[in-house]
Amino acid sequence: MSVYAFSFLKKMYRERLNDIVSLDRETSMIEIERKFLVTSNAFKDEAFKKTRIIQGFLNTHKERTVRVRLKGNLGFITVKGVSTSDGLSRFEWEKEISGPEAKSLLSLCEKGVIDKMRYEVNVGNHVFEVDEFYGDNDGLIMAEVELDHKTEDFNKPDWLGEEVTGQIKYYNSQLSKVPYKAWS
C-alpha cells in the first residue's frame, strides 16, 4: 500500500469513526434494493442522466466488501456488509472522496476492475439505476431500484426482465472476480 493511500485511509477512519458509530443503523445505513436484468435498450431514451463509473474492490470478503468508485470526476469509498438471506438488504456506508484520491486507491484494488455506464431513469416514484457493463462484463445490463422498505410497491418498466436480487454472481464484487464473459 502506498504511503499516500495508507495515510488517507487512516485519516478518514479517525475523522469518521464517531459519525459511523452514532448513526442509526436501521434507518441510515441499511440499503434495501431489488436488482433485475434488462431486456432492451429502451431505458436509454428514458434516462435523465448517464455517468461513467470505474470501480474496484479493496476487499471482497463474503462478510464485507470495500469498494472504491470513480463516478465521473467524483470519488467514493463504500463499505457493504453481508446481505440478508433474501438478498434485499444489507449494511452500507459511503463517503465521498476526491477524484485523485479514488484514482490512487483504485491502483490498490484487487484484480478485476468494473467499467460501466450508469443511466438514471424515473419510473413512478422511484429512480432506477441501469448499469451497462463494458470490458469483461460486456453484454450485461442490470437495473436496481432502492426501496424504503422490503415490501414497498414500485412500477416496473417494460424493459425490466428477470429479477436477480440476492444472486451473488450479479454482485459487482463477484463480477470483478468472475466476469459475465466467463460464465458458461
| pLDDT tens-digit readout, 70-82 | 999 999 999 999 8
- Total tally of structural domains belonging to the chain: 1
Global confidence as pTM: 0.83
Q: Are 76 and 54 in contact (CB under 8 A)?
A: no
Give the cell for residue 93: 456506508
**C-alpha torsion 179→169→25→118, nearest 10:** 50
Q: Are 141 and 132 in contact (CB under 8 A)?
A: yes
Spatial distance between the Cα atoms of 145 and 147, rounded to a whole number of angstroms: 6
Q: Are 77 and 98 in contact (CB under 8 A)?
A: no
Q: What is the pLDDT of residues 82-140, one digit of tens each?
A: 888 888 888 999 999 999 999 999 999 999 999 999 999 999 999 999 999 999 999 99
Tell me the CATH number at 12: 2.40.320.10
**pLDDT surpasses 80 at 28:** no
- The per-residue pLDDT for 45 is 98
41 or 8, greater pLDDT:
41
Q: Please state, in angstroms and as integers, the Cα–Cα distance from residue 2 to each residue in 29, 46, 114, following that order.
A: 29, 43, 22
- The per-residue pLDDT for 11 is 60
Tell me, rounded to whole angstroms, the distance of Cα 148 from its chain centroid.
Answer: 17
Looking up cell 413512478 gives 124
Spatial distance between the Cα atoms of 176 and 64, rounded to a whole number of angstroms: 15
Looking up cell 448499469 gives 131
- Mean pLDDT confidence for 41-53: 98
CA-nearest of 2, 73, 60 to 10 is 2
Q: What is the pLDDT of residues 143-180, one digit of tens each?
A: 999 999 999 999 999 999 999 999 999 999 999 999 99
Q: Please state, in angstroms and as integers, the Cα–Cα distance from residue 56 to each residue in 52, 69, 101, 119, following that order.
A: 14, 7, 13, 19
Mean pLDDT for all residues in the chain: 89
Give the cell for residue 125: 416514484
State which residues form the domain around 47.
Answer: 3-182
Q: In sequence order, what are the beta bridge partners of 71?
A: 53, 74
